[in-house]
Each structure stands twice: as structure tokens, then as C-alpha cells.
Chains A and B, each alone.
Chain A
Amino acid sequence: MTQLLVAPSRMSTTQRVVTGLLHSREVAIVLVLLAVAAVATAKTSSFLFSANSWRDLLLTPSILILLAVGQAVVIITRNVDLSVGSVLALTAYLTGRLFIDNPGIPIVVVFVAGLAAGAVLGLVNGVIIGYGRVPALVITLGTLYIYRGVVLSWAGSDRINASDLPSGFLSLGTKSVASVPVLTIIAVAVLVVVAYYLHSNRGGRELYAIGSDPDAAVLYGLAVRRRVIGAFVLSGALAGLAGVLYTARYGTVSSGAGTGIELQAVAAAVIGGVAIFGGSGTVWGAAIGAVLLVTINRALPIAGIPDFWQRAVVGALIIGAIVLDRILAARRARKLIEARDDV
């Protein structure tokens, strides 16, 4: 009775890697992304082939990539973090204030402060959710209001302007190293580290286990509460980092910064194949989803569609991605059942 339900693959390692890649969700989105870029470039060659547009293509998505990576980690544990937009606003304003109130403060200190502030806000989310045994959707909806209210009271109608910020910090937002913008390098570095952690580290695998079946994870003896809190701290810290980069990139920060960006981050993760019920998906997918969202926004006006329709296209894309997921999952389930019946 020790017969396996599904026989081990007879393909060689290389074959398996290649077919795995071809079937992966990430490659599918990359193809869509390339198609969008190709269509836009065919219409207007300057979409890809001009000095500025190449930079914009890499630079614009970098902030959303950070948020999408954090969001993906939280969603993998079968939670969701809606407060990231408000965290971004808080840390973006904090960044500006630090420079105004402490002239000559080292840029590194500001980065650390932004990360730490974001991590603390994420910790608040995580502790309430972990110890209160309450749904993340409700709690982060509450902290979305609370954190936004804090920024609104703190900043009021005040606005951070580019002239308030040191030029060394502002140039970070536009500077490039070997024609790759610094912001993109930071985002990709974060992406690589988190992706490695999720793929190869014990803690990362436990996050998937928790998301697949939280009750089983508890029975198995995993430190569910600690891991979930960790995921929220990471999401908060990345939103904090995104806030600092937001200030560097745009130079102006008002109390309304990042309103509604939490839904874009969730959308990027969902488009990238991170299942909303947890347990599957990769941060690579979420990051590519973020790039796709931003690129579509830039490509639409070129394709002759007024940019008012952007959100409709994004919405259709999200729904299309979920429906596609369901169809693929149904096919996989059918194949597994066939394999079982054959045995």
C-alpha cells in the first residue's frame, strides 16, 4: 500500500526546470508585460527607445514593487495588510520633517528611521492580529484610518517641498548607476533577499505552511503567531522604506500621499499569482505584477486610450487574473484526480 499517487517525474533536471518555467505564472505575466511594451513601442517608438523612457520604465514601479513584496508575504500567510498606504504617508512625511528639523542629518539615519517607523507600525498590526485572534482585514482597515488620521493631524495642510530637502537626498530619486536608477536597485535588492528567504529559508517555508492551513500549522508546532507578526513587521518596514523613497522620488509630500495605493499593492500581488487565500505564489510574481500595473498605466495613453480608462483596464486585468487562476487550478485538480483513478 505504499504506492505513490503521482509517480516521480522521469524528466531530467534541466527538462523539469524548463517545463516548470514555461508553466509558471511569473513567465505568463512577463509575456503579457512584453506584449504591452511591444504594442506601445510599435505605436510610439519613444516608449522604449529614448533615454528618459527607459529610466521611467524602471523607476516608476520601484515604490509599488516594495509594497507588493511586503503585501505578498502577508497574503501568503492568509492575511492582508490594508494599512500600507497610510504607513507610506506617515514615513514619507516623517522623512521630510527629519530633514527640516535636523539640518545636516545623515541620509542613512533617515533611511533607518523610516524603516524602523514602518516596522513599528507593522508590529502594532501584527501584535493585535496575532494576540487578539482577529481578522487582519478588519484590523488593518482600522489602522488604515488611524495611521492616516495621525498623518492628517500631524501634517495638517502643511506640505514638504523639494526645497526643504537636501540635494544629496533628492538626487537619490533620480540618480542612476550604470543606467539603472538607484531606487530600482534598492527595490530589486529587497526583492532578491525576500525571495531567497521565502524559497530557501525555514522561516519562509513556514509562512507558506501557515497560509495553506493555519490549524494544521499550529498542530504541527509551528510558531504561527511569531511568524505572522514577523510578516506584518516586514510589510510595515517595506512600506516605511517605500515612504522614504517616495519623498526622494517626488520631492513633495502632503498628508494625502499614497491614498489608495494599498489596493494597488494587493492587485499587483493577485495579478502576480499570489492566491488571496494564502499558501501559494511568489514575491517575484507580485513584483512583476506591480511592473505590469505601472507599465499599463503608462502605455494606455500611447495606445490612444484616454488615461481616464486606466482604472477600468486594471480592474478587468485583476478579474481576468483571478478567473485564469481558477481555470488553471480546476485543470490541475482534474489531472490529479485522473492520476489517482489510473492507479
Chain B
Amino acid sequence: MTTTTYPDFAQPAWRRWLLTRESAMIALVLATVAYAIASIDNFAGPLTLTYLLLDIAPILLIALPMTLIIVTGEIDLSVGSVVGLSSVLLGVTYQAGVPMAWALVVAILGGALCGALNGYLIAHLGLPSLAVTIGTLALFRGLAVGLLGTTAVTDFPDSWTDLATNEIGGTGIPLVMIAFVVLAVAFAVLLHFSTFGRGVYDIGLNSEAAHFTGVNVRRTKFILYVLAGAVSAFAGVFYTFRFGSARGDNATGLELQVIAAVLLGGVSIFGGRGRLHGVIAGVLLIGVLSSALRLESVTVNVINIIIGVLLVASVMSTNLLAAFRRATASWKRSTAQSNATATGAESSRKAHV
């Protein structure tokens, strides 16, 4: 008897593509958009898209490295604080008279350094990422608030702040989306089309086995945390320019929104499972829902509840779906077996005749 070890590959490519959780998320986003355009008055207007994308840009950006980190089975709770710290670094260095271009470099290097600290503690000392990044969440936020106190740096030149809010031509799509698309393609190649990315999945499925198959577990994790730090810092720069102010408490609590979006996009918190297009759909779903509900003048409280329910439901659905698959698979196997025995009995009877 030949058992198919990879039942997924027995099906045609289009079915494999369509019957995934990621496609379900994309369909859900499209359905929500269609419903919003049809039934909410101003949703189809030009301003909606601009503000929607501006609002979710930091989450979109940070969700990229966060996906890779969660796929390895780790987590990074400090990204919101890195956004705050890089925003403050940008403000402080610019205020000190450093040219803006160099201030940008300082902010992003600072973020990468934060990520390197996380990476060193987690990858090289082997400490639990949940505990470490709760610590660095407080540490980085504390540094940010300590550097600026209750003051804010707001006198950024318009030429820079415009970069964050300007649109591409007259499309209504903000400029920052170009940076996002470039980064998204880079991360997609890194995760889905490179040896490094296969290593990321291997670590998430079984870190020890990955080590024995030649994946450099420590280096991979370290690089991922540095990337998360640098991208968070870039999001911090965007955040600063968009609102024209560098404050210590910028983007407080952003980490939970990012993680919620990533998990909503179908990444397993246990690691080893999840794809980037699902995550991007997850972030978009949260963005579209919040902006549609806001246009319907539903308050932010209800949006909070909806995000929470979506998060719980999405995690439960993975398990329910898996249980359902197991049930149908065992049912198929049992019917196949009974068929096989039936035909076998028939042929043996024929032989007797």
C-alpha cells in the first residue's frame, strides 16, 4: 500500500494555493473592502486610502521582521519601545545641530543596536525571548523617556516631514509605501526563496534538528533581531516625520498591535508556520476594519474588542481546522481501506471461480 506522505502535493497547484489560510485572509480583506465601499458613504473617497495606509504603515513595516522572528518560535515585545527610542534619537541628534541625513543614520543604527542587544541575549546567551524583550521593552522606553523627559522635538524641516505624508503622484498612496514594498519584497525573498529562510522555518519546527542539519541557529536568530531593530527604527523615523514630533512616548503599545496582526495573518506562535502574504493581509484587515468602523463613527473601543475577538478566533480556527482535517483524513483512510478490502475480496472470489 502506498501512502502519500505529502497529501498537499497530490492536488493541483491552484487548489493548493486557494485552500490555504493566507488566501482565506486575503478573501476576507477583499470582502471587507467590497462591503465597506458598497455600504459606507465616504469609504471610496480618495482620503480614506491615504489615511488608512499612513495609519498602518508602522505596523506593516514592523510586521515583516516580526513574522520571521515568530516563525523561529521566538518573539520580540520591544519593537514599540525601539520605535520610541529611535524617534527620540532622531530628535535629539537633529536638535544638536547634526544634519538630518546623519541624524537618520544615528536613529536607524541605534535601532539596529537595540536589536543586537536582544539578539545577543536571546541567541548567544540562550535566554527566553519573552522575558528578555519584556525587559528591553522597559529599558528602551525608559531610555527614550529619560533622554527627552516630557519635552518634544517638533521643529523638523518641512522638506523631511513632507516625505512621510506626500503621495505618489495623485494616486493617494503615500510615499512610504514604496519603502514598504521594497522591504516586503526583500523579506519575502529572504523568507520564502533563500537558504536562510528555509533555516528560519527549520528552527521554528525543531531548533535542535535544524542545528544538526547545518543551520546556524545563533547567527540566524541574531540577524533577525538586528533586522527587527533596524526596521522598527525606520518605522520610528516615519512616525516622527508623519506627526512632526519626536517624543519619548511615541508608539506606546505598538508591539501588541504588530503581534496581533502577525498572528491574525496565520503565523503560528509555536513557530515553523506562516507566510508573509498572509501577514500583510492580516495588517490590512485590521487597517480596513478600523478605518471603515471609524467612518461609521464606531468608537475605538469597539475596534479594540473586534481586534481582540479576531485574534482569539484566528488562533482557535487554526486548531479547529487542523482537527477537522484530521477527522476527514482518517475518514478518507477508513473508507479507502474498506474499499480496498472489498475489491480484494471480490478479486479473490473471481480467482476461485
Contacts and interface: CB of A to CB of B under 8 A. Distances in A.
B183 interface: no
A18 interface: no
B104 to A, nearest CB: 24
Given A145-B260, A149-B304, A308-B149, A139 B315 contact: yes
A146 B134 CA distance: 21
A135 B270 contact: yes
Interface residues of B, number: 48
A135 B269 contact: yes
Contacts of B150: 308
B308 interface: yes
Instruction: Label chain A's interface by main secondary structure.
Output: helix
B138 A314 contact: yes
A108 interface: no
B108 to A, nearest CB: 21
Interface size, A (range) = 35 or more
A194 interface: no
Given A132-B319, A318-B135, A323-B125, A142 B309 contact: yes
Contact of B307 (A132, A145, A152, A316): A145
Contacts of B142: 308-315
A267 interface: yes
A145 B304 contact: yes
Interface in A314-330: 314-319, 322-323, 326
A135 B315 contact: yes
A143 interface: yes
Contacts of B145: 308-309, 311-312
A1 B341 CA distance: 52
Interface string A76-91: 0000100000000000
A270 interface: yes
B77 to A, nearest CB: 8
Contact of A128 (B131, B307, B312): B312
Give the interface centre of A132, A145, A270, A322 by most chain B CB atoms within 10 Å. A145
Give the interface centre of A141, A306, A310 by most chain B CB atoms within 10 Å. A141
A308 B309 CA distance: 35
Nearest to B252: A260
Nearest to B147: A308
Give the interface centre of B141, B302, B305, B308 by most chain A CB atoms within 10 Å. B308
B134 A266 contact: yes
Given A138-B311, A145-B311, A318-B134, A128 B128 contact: no
A133 B319 contact: yes
A150 interface: yes
Rank and list the top 9 A-B pairs by shortest CB-CB distance, nearest first: A312-B142, A315-B139, A311-B142, A145-B308, A315-B138, A152-B301, A318-B135, A149-B305, A149-B304
B134 to A, nearest CB: 6
A323 B127 contact: yes
12 contacts: A133-B319, A138-B269, A139-B312, A141-B259, A141-B311, A142-B315, A145-B256, A145-B311, A149-B308, A276-B128, A308-B248, A312-B142
A153 interface: yes
Give the interface centre of A146, A260, A267, A313 by most chain B CB atoms within 10 Å. A146
A253 B205 CA distance: 46
A276 B75 CA distance: 13
B33 interface: no
Contacts of B319: 132-134
A312 B304 contact: no
Interface in B269-315: 269-270, 299-309, 311-312, 315
B304 A152 contact: yes
Given A276-B131, A319-B132, A142 B304 contact: no
B304 A315 contact: no
Given A135-B270, A138-B315, A276-B130, 15 more contacts: A128-B312, A132-B316, A138-B263, A139-B315, A144-B308, A145-B305, A145-B311, A153-B305, A260-B252, A263-B134, A267-B135, A312-B143, A315-B137, A319-B136, A323-B127
B128 A153 contact: no
Contacts of A314: 138-139, 142
A311 B270 CA distance: 30
Interface string A273-313: 00011000000000000000000000000000010111111
A249 interface: no
Contacts of A263: 134, 137-138
Interface in B204-257: 248, 252-253, 256
A266 B319 CA distance: 27
B30 interface: no
B146 A306 contact: yes
Given A146-B304, A308-B146, A326-B126, A267 B312 contact: no
B316 A128 contact: yes
A322 B138 contact: no
Interface in A96-150: 128, 132-135, 137-139, 141-146, 148-150
B140 interface: yes
B306 to A, nearest CB: 8
Contacts of B305: 145-146, 149-150, 153
B138 A142 contact: no
B144 to A, nearest CB: 9
A132 B300 CA distance: 28
B121 interface: yes
Contact of A152 (B135, B136, B143, B300): B300
